[in-house]
Structure 1
Amino acid sequence: MRSADAELADAFFVSAVATLLLIRIGLEATGYPRLAGGGLHIAHVLWGGLGMLVALGLLLLFLSPFTRLLAAIVGGAGFGAFIDELGKFVTADNDYFFQPTAALVYVFFAVMFLAVRQIRRFRRLSPRESLVNAIELAESLVAGELSETDRTRALELLADADASDPLVSALRERFRAAARLSRPSVVQRIGATAGDRYSRVAGSRWFRRAIAGLFILQGAAFVVSLAYALVVIGGTLIGVEEARAELEQANGGNGVTSWIQILSGFIAGVFIVRGLLALRRSRLHAYRAFELAVLVDLLLAQPFAFLTTGFGAAADVFIDLALLAALRFMQTQERWMGDAAESRSGVILAAQGATNLGGDR
């Protein structure tokens, strides 16, 4: 049985990544202090284990949706503290500063995120899974803590459940009668406010133009870089020494890593140019191509950036994630506008048909 609540996994990932980065930044700022005297050292992997234990206890002892969210946040923080010390457990000398640790952690989070995403999306929730998730939301109904958001979600789940099951009709009646039993929680109100503001900003014309302008600049830079690379490669092939030296310098002394980063940059650039060519014809197709370019950078280029520069590459990842969120929102908005246009066209055609029938009579 899969959960319909994607917020729990998202909360876990955000909490884990935030904790890991806060630990790294805090230790760097304070000079890596010890939390115990003498010959003792309380490694933060132990605090991570404690956080995961607390999360497990919350899940075993309590039933409310808030408790599950709290467990996801606390467990994510514990996991972030745990995975931060990965370098100590993959090296013979317990080297916390083992440089490939950042790349290993990044790849681990990326693979885990993709696995969770695939589990969510490989097929729609079955009617039975929809009913079970609606029953989970009934906990808040019984406790008198049902928000309007949860009520709407429960009714949507019941609409996908098997209507012949007597539980479906009974739960639907209870949820419909439970309108506005309680005000949204503080967290829900903050989330709704932030979501509304983000929607207004991301849905504005200037924001779409800014995103398009950013990719236009990247596309232009890619075309110029590609032309320069072709000139350098051509010069190398015909024996120009300056071109050979330039190619070796671009290679950076690490053949495999550098070539993979160059290849990923080329693939991302192709997607950007493809999106720019589609921009006038279909914004939806253009945004999808831009999204693929960002995903290529996230999943192919950034692991090697972490390998060479360590956790300093995190800033580029956050920029990519912000672009990815904006592009997905813009795609959703384009689909919504397309559906609305089709609906209006259908109404107009139906009205014209009725008018023509009236005229024929």
Structure 2
Amino acid sequence: MDSQPSGFVRAGSAATYLQAFVLCGISTVLLTRAYLAATGYPKIGGGGLHIAHVLWGGLLMMAAVGVALVFLGRAARICSAMLGGAGFGLFIDEVGKFITEETDYFYRPAAGIIYLTFAVLVVITQWLHGPAERTADERRADAADAALTGVISGLTTRQRVEAIELVTGSEREVDRALVRLLNAIPDAESGRVDRSRAAAGRLRARLDALLRPSWTLTAASWYLIMLPTLTIVGALAESVTGDFDHAGEQRADLVVVGAAACTALLSIRGAAALSVDHATGIRWLRLALLADLLVGQVFKFTVNQFAAVSALAVDLVVLWVLARWSRRVSR
């Protein structure tokens, strides 16, 4: 007996749309902060009026909803995700004004709140990317969505095959009709798509070649041990000199030190396990890095404000290295 259709069916490409939303949001926050700092924080308006950029963010999010409601197809969804991400970035950038009585844009914990918001969205994106058993409704809806894309712009051979595989083997008449529709859709102009995929494949091959030597994994483990160790040593030195309190953010400093200690201990455990079992060692190292990304970095942004972006960038590179090594070991 067929299952009753549910009200909400998750799109197979949901992670792609959310990833575009997050990247546009992060880029907007960083560009906005850089622009305002470079121009001396100008104000738009006059005569007692100030048009805050949160209003522009609201307009962009309204435009994103409008695009999603009015237009069909994946191109519209990507456009909506990018507009919404940029609008959300302008909105969350002014969070300090919303949570303080003085409407303080420079409220120090605001940077940590902004970071934590996007960190949670990244975790959700990774969860959506993860392996999951697709329901029949989800597979059918994705096949229909691919057919909709094909009606608008045609389908490449790969898109057609992947969509047909979603409903292959089903005895339902609607699924057989979807297969006939997918086969009837004309081919897309695949030259540009093929060139893009070929370029992406060459880039992945070069990056894999860079990661092939075992020293890259060793370097990642040493980084995860040394960086938190230096943080702890620096905090101890500042406590001796009396400079430990950063502009009244001593509690945030204590959390940073605690997270650094946790990261260092987990990293030492992972480095020791690497000599016995690469898979186990990489799991411990990734756990150590996540402790820093989801706890330590939140309060590093509170203490160091957006100067913490550089350390975050290195952490993300190390996370990517560990992820590639994990896939290699699993293969």
Question: One fold, TM greater than 0.5?
Answer: yes
**In the aligned structure 2, how far is the partner of 1:251 from the partner of 1:173?**
68
User: Cα offset for 1:121?
Assistant: 5.1
User: Cα offset for 1:143?
Assistant: 2.5
Cα distance change, pair 4–141 in 1 and its aligned pair in 2 (3 A): same
Q: Is it true that 1:303 corresponds to 2:292 in the alignment? A: no
Runs of 4+ in 1 over 4 A off after TM superposition: 115-123, 176-180, 205-208, 222-229, 247-255
1:171-222 CA-to-partner distances (Å, cap 9, x unmatched) read: 3354356584331666x854x3563244223312655435324234336637
Moved more, 291-300 or 21-30: 291-300
Contact 2:229 2:261 in 1 (8 A): no
2:12 to 4, 25, 28: 4
Moved more, 247-256 or 213-222: 247-256
Count of residue pairs brought into register by the alignment: 320
User: Cα offset for 1:34?
Assistant: 2.2
State how 1:142-291 maps to structure 2 within 5 Å: 142-159=151-168, 163-175=170-182, 180-183=187-190, 190=196, 192=197, 195-204=200-209, 208-218=213-223, 221=226, 246=240, 256-291=251-286
**In the aligned structure 1, how far is the partner of 2:45 from the partner of 2:233?**
56
Which residue identity does 1:105 align to in structure 2? I
**In the aligned structure 2, how far is the partner of 1:290 from the partner of 1:331?**
11
Q: Is it true that 1:55 corresponds to 2:64 in the alignment? A: yes
**In the aligned structure 1, how far is the partner of 2:228 from the partner of 2:48?**
58
User: Cα offset for 1:248?
Assistant: 7.0
**In the aligned structure 2, how far is the partner of 1:290 from the partner of 1:195?**
28
Contact 1:130 1:158 in 2 (8 A): yes
User: Cα offset for 1:124?
Assistant: 2.3
Cα distance change, pair 119–227 in 1 and its aligned pair in 2 (3 A): closer
**In the aligned structure 2, how far is the partner of 1:87 from the partner of 1:226?**
27
Name which structure has the greater RCO, CA cutoff 8 Å, separation 6+: 2
Cα distance change, pair 195–284 in 1 and its aligned pair in 2 (3 A): farther
Is the radius of gyration larger for structure 1 or structure 2?
1
1:50-76 CA-to-partner distances (Å, cap 9, x unmatched) read: 111111111111002111101100110
Query: Which segments of 5 or more consecutive residues in structure 1 lack a partner in the other structure?
Result: 233-242, 337-361
1:231-276 CA-to-partner distances (Å, cap 9, x unmatched) read: x8xxxxxxxxxx9964976687865433322222222223322332
Moved more, 14-23 or 202-211: 202-211
Contact 1:215 1:272 in 2 (8 A): no
Moved more, 45-54 or 253-262: 253-262
User: Cα offset for 1:94?
Assistant: 1.6
Which residue identity does 1:171 align to in structure 2? L
Contact 1:134 1:154 in 2 (8 A): yes
1:317 match: secondary structure: helix
Contact 2:211 2:321 in 1 (8 A): no
What TM-score, normalized by structure 2, do the two folds share? 0.83
Contact 1:268 1:297 in 2 (8 A): yes
Cα distance change, pair 70–222 in 1 and its aligned pair in 2 (3 A): closer
1:336-360 CA-to-partner distances (Å, cap 9, x unmatched) read: 3xxxxxxxxxxxxxxxxxxxxxxxx
Query: Which segments of 5 or more consecutive residues in structure 2 lack a partner in the other structure?
Result: 1-8
Contact 1:272 1:290 in 2 (8 A): yes
User: Cα offset for 1:18?
Assistant: 0.3
Cα distance change, pair 166–282 in 1 and its aligned pair in 2 (3 A): farther
2:120 match: secondary structure: helix
2:107 match: secondary structure: coil
Cα distance change, pair 227–38 in 1 and its aligned pair in 2 (3 A): closer
1:203 match: secondary structure: helix
What TM-score, normalized by structure 1, do the two folds share? 0.77
Contact 1:163 1:169 in 2 (8 A): yes
**In the aligned structure 1, how far is the partner of 2:192 from the partner of 2:12?**
20
**In the aligned structure 2, how far is the partner of 1:77 from the partner of 1:97?**
20
1:65-109 CA-to-partner distances (Å, cap 9, x unmatched) read: 111101100110011011111111111122111111101111222
Cα distance change, pair 219–203 in 1 and its aligned pair in 2 (3 A): same
2:112 to 86, 103, 125: 103
Which residue identity does 1:14 align to in structure 2? L
2:214 match: secondary structure: helix
**Corresponding residue of 1:292:** 287
**In the aligned structure 2, how far is the partner of 1:228 from the partner of 1:60?**
54
**In the aligned structure 2, how far is the partner of 1:8 from the partner of 1:156?**
22
1:204 match: secondary structure: helix
Q: Percent identity?
A: 30
**Corresponding residue of 1:320:** 315
